[in-house]
């Protein structure tokens, strides 16, 4: 069985062909990073327009790489939730058109669950049932998975996503976009204890996150208490490194402690972590040591599958096997679906 998976939820236009044995026959990701970097974040209208220009070339290239045509496929899958409305629409319309042209069934992908499924793609043992931590530019959520399809929302950020906090703090520190890689690089030479930043909810049982207070604390550390305008403030390299390391450690502490709490509360012993921030080296190392200490099995998406891609859309294979197909009036659901 061969499925074409399409991913356009945010600012990557991506397609991949995967098989029921989870082999990747071809994968293409066209990143829009260059288009958005001068705005220090994704501009939805620019993202949607870029998807329109790129979607057909990306699909053609995926067919060429896989050495396949539409006639060789068994289904078309597309991420229709959650994400930016305009971006999601481009992928969905492309998928529906291919279904009509090839008389193929349509499969819906939840982008968040696909991020978690990236861990299954990297493992020859089943990683489900598990707790899934999705930590990206748009999302920071914990789900309980009985299997790849049945998920229960456990908690998540009540304001900024972790990646968004990395991006905004990077901009305050004069570091480039995307902020995650820039902050983790600057943090290499910094002292993570130089500043004591808040870790919201860390002593509470609730499985939620909040990063806006942390962001404000970094702002005040840069500009002084109550500061709102950081223009004209020049930080030296060591200050940037210390602020980066201390901020990163605060985020990592929250992510690690809530993930472990989610495992303890659910009684599960497998943790799967996906999304762009899962590429963070300090997070990966500290999750590893906490899981080892607690006899928990940790699965982190391989680096190339942390940021958005269509290969993780292989979760569609599970839906195909379960007979979960969609009508062609399937719509986008931009907001978070809590299941």
| Interface with Zn ion (CB under 5 A) | 136, 308
285: Cβ–Cβ under 8 A, 6 or more apart, which residues?
A: none
CA angle 74, 50, 10 (to 5 degrees): 70
Indicate whether 178 belongs to the interface with ligand KG4 (CB under 6 A): yes
CB atoms within 10 A of CB 218: 23
Instruction: Name which of residues 184 to 243 contact ligand KG4 (CB under 6 A).
Output: 184
Smallest gap from Cβ 265 to Zn ion, in A, equals: 25
CA angle 298, 299, 305 (to 5 degrees): 155
Binding mask 291-320 for ligand KG4 (x = CB under 6 A): ----------------xx------------
Nearer to ligand KG4, 104 or 116 (CB): 116
92: number of CA atoms within 13 Å, CB side?
Answer: 27
From the list 13, 66, 200, 280, which residue makes contact with ligand KG4 (rule: CB under 6 A)?
Answer: 280
Instruction: Name which of residues 37 to 76 contact ligand KG4 (CB under 6 A).
Output: none
User: How big is the site for ligand KG4, counted in residues (CB under 6 A)?
Assistant: 19
Indicate whether 275 belongs to the interface with ligand KG4 (CB under 6 A): yes
Nearer to ligand KG4, 155 or 163 (CB): 163
Question: Quick one: which segment of 54-62, 118-126, 237-245, 274-282 binds ligand KG4 (CB under 6 A)?
Answer: 274-282
CA angle 144, 149, 151 (to 5 degrees): 25
Indicate the pairing of strand 106-110 with strand 130-135. Answer: unpaired
Indicate whether 132 belongs to the interface with ligand KG4 (CB under 6 A): no
Helix 212-223 and helix 237-266: axis angle, to 10°? 160
Smallest gap from Cβ 59 to ligand KG4, in A, equals: 20
Nearer to Zn ion, 121 or 222 (CB): 121
Question: Quick one: which segment of 16-24, 67-75, 94-102, 172-180 binds ligand KG4 (CB under 6 A)?
Answer: 172-180
CB-count burial class (<10 Å; 0-12, 13-18, 19+) for 205: exposed
Which option in Zn ion, ligand KG4, none does residue 163 bind, with CB closer than 5 to 8 A by kind?
Answer: ligand KG4
Q: Are 135 and 277 in contact (CB under 8 A)?
A: yes
Q: How far apart are CA 296 and CA 290, in angstroms?
A: 8
Smallest gap from Cβ 109 to ligand KG4, in A, equals: 13
């Amino acid at each position: 069985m061969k499925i074409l998976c399409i991913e356009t939820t945010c600012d990557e236009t991506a397609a991949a062909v995967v098989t029921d044995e989870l082999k990747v026959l071809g994968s293409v990701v066209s990143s829009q990073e260059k288009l958005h970097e001068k705005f220090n974040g994704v501009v939805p209208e620019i993202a949607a327009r870029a998807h329109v220009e790129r979607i057909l070339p990306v699909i053609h290239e995926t067919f060429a790489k896989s050495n396949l045509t539409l006639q060789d496929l068994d289904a078309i899958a597309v991420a229709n939730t959650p994400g930016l409305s305009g971006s999601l629409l481009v992928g969905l319309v492309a998928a529906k058109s291919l279904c009509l042209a090839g008389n193929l069934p349509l499969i819906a992908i939840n982008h968040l669950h696909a991020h978690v499924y990236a861990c299954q793609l990297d493992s020859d043992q089943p990683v489900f049932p598990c707790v899934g931590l999705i930590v990206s530019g748009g999302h920071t959520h914990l789900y309980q998975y009985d299997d790849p399809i049945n998920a229960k929302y456990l908690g998540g950020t009540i304001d900024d996503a972790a990646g968004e906090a990395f991006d905004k703090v990077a901009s305050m520190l004069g570091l480039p976009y995307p902020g995650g890689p820039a902050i983790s690089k600057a943090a290499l030479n910094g002292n993570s204890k130089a500043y004591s930043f808040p870790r919201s909810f860390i002593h509470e049982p609730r499985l939620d996150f909040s990063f806006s207070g942390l962001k404000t604390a970094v702002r005040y550390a840069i500009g002084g208490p109550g500061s709102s305008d950081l223009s004209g403030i020049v930080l030296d390299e060591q200050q940037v490194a210390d602020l980066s390391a201390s901020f990163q450690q605060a985020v990592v502490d929250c992510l690690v402690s809530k993930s472990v709490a989610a495992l303890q509360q659910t009684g599960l012993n497998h943790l799967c972590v996906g999304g762009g921030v899962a590429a963070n080296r300090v997070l990966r190392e500290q999750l590893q040591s906490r899981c080892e200490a607690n006899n928990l099995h940790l699965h982190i998406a391989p680096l190339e599958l942390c940021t958005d891609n269509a290969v993780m859309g292989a979760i569609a294979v599970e839906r195909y096997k379960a007979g979960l197909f969609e009508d062609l009036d399937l719509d986008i659901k931009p907001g978070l679906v809590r299941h």
